[in-house]
Structure 1
């Protein structure tokens, strides 16, 4: 699946693989990068390669919660109220520029992301499986935006950045994609049933108790760090271990290793941390805190 997506978007392989890890582990993805680097293409190519339904939600300040979850309307011909599902009723949902939606609308995604369901007019409806939200935001221009609260950020399993391609890759992209849609290069390599089955395989991947203790040690290290006002939550530990198991499946193993945890540590933990004002003033970053935790916590043998 990583190879299929790589035909459409020029991004580091580890970035694409992290998206596949999120899909297989049941997590959601935040892509934080400048415009034009392929965020939308990455989401579309992942959906196409996985053989999943795809929908897009363009966030603006006037977007309403009903525009996200759906709305109940009166059907005059049928003489009854009918539910018209919103864009979240798809397998892969791109929430573009999520921080341009109001906090009220952002909160409409909380139940979707955590419980895989929506409640409209007192009736709860289950979302299709698999279900993954890929949200984007621009880290450069913040005018007219609403920063996501900690509860929202904590629901994203991973945060990634694509970055600019290498000059050689960018030149090849110009030749390959100037006259055709990038998605024409992507062919489905799976379907919904296969993704659901793969998630079951992830559930059965063996994780040694020592590996679980290692994950807890990393999470606790972020909480104890003097530069941190709010450390990683227990949900972060769960996301990290599950992502490590998904990475093991991608590499053809039935067991997770410390290398799986270390390879995903920054993507899973950094966006959940809140620095103290003093640490921000001194130019510290959450990525540095996670890197120090990875260096300090003993790796189980």
Structure 2
């Protein structure tokens, strides 16, 4: 690891030093002082905002806080929920370009504020809670769907549970109408969110809107409104197994004993993933062994 870090430093540092412009995001933007706060552990953010002569910061309007006093509690929530740290390795506070008597820092600082559907979300009393997000990633770390399929499968800038409720405002409901259904509604995301965004409730709201919109009819097939005969039979069989402890026990026993019969390729799933196989021991068997 140390060797890779040294190689990266040798190759990349020179690029920072000769760059004309440095781009960065913003974790918190303070309206009272104009201060831009950047939270990071790598150090590349600090290089991007100090070495080039021009710094351009880009942020959504929801990252603006009223006063400097509002930053510490939000920073504490962010670092603890994201990485379990009291504070990140680097915490940068930028309040403008360098002054005449200062030796480092950019000579120009520009801030780009993005709306991109955010005022639309804020106009709705329920959906505006989406904008409370501090991008800690706690909802993604606890989401069974996200941990299984990964972030790139969402095809949007914001993945995971928070992405499902914020992307429709940015990209439109037509382009993201299936995202709200990619959830088990287990509620884990809402429980761990440090700023108490009711993500499951907002997912249900967006599901209702996507299915009641004029474009919704074609997308309803296969999502509860028009299963094929084969899919209906499969789900009825699934329900029968899960309603009967005895039948469930038989099926899981067979699955664990004959897992070697599982095909090595399982459709598109195994093109980028390891094939799924039943556990060698059932949960009920492991519990019996511990008693």
TM-score for both structures, normalised by structure 1 = 0.23
Select the structure that is richer in strand.
1
Structure showing greater Rg: 2
TM-score for both structures, normalised by structure 2 = 0.23
